[in-house]
Structure 1
């Protein structure tokens, strides 16, 4: 955003689609977003990725039809917040493995997205 500072600091600023795509907010805990689409009810859960947040996930998986797991492969050279010596991608893949192999996700479809931050 630094090259767009004048535009962004303008009092009449309205974010572009690119601005929104590049924005990021750290998730802590579990955020639930219910919505209705074509007569069907959906719930999307955004889970905090910190180790301490992971125990809060369990209640969200009862009756889940699909799990979308997003791994930022651009973090291949970054350490975890809790342990800087642990690679973030490896930590995320360990978490993915735990989610996929857990008994509560046995009947859920699993989708893995590898993206960049």
Structure 2
């Protein structure tokens, strides 16, 4: 327990000495690791947030960002991608387009156009 209290004090001291408003990546990683340890010891989210003087919502966001894709991976199903079949098309210089005909039919249409 003393080890966890020492880690909490260390993180709080590091938070007060940071140069910018944002927390460094190493700090966030250490905080996420400590949150996991404290959760295993039975600490509530609110108690952890109060002990670290960081809102628990922020700690949860950091934890979710540290383990990307775990929740989403279960929702994805494998799919097979195939190239769409290209069909011939007749496109005029003015922009209209005729599709869905065979090459022979398109040639005949092109011959009959003015």
Specify the TM-score bucket, using the shorter chain as the normaliser: under 0.3
More relative contact order, 1 or 2 (CA 8 Å, 6+ apart)? 1
Output the TM-score relative to the length of structure 1: 0.26
Larger Rg: 2
Output the TM-score relative to the length of structure 2: 0.27
Q: Which has the higher strand share?
A: 1
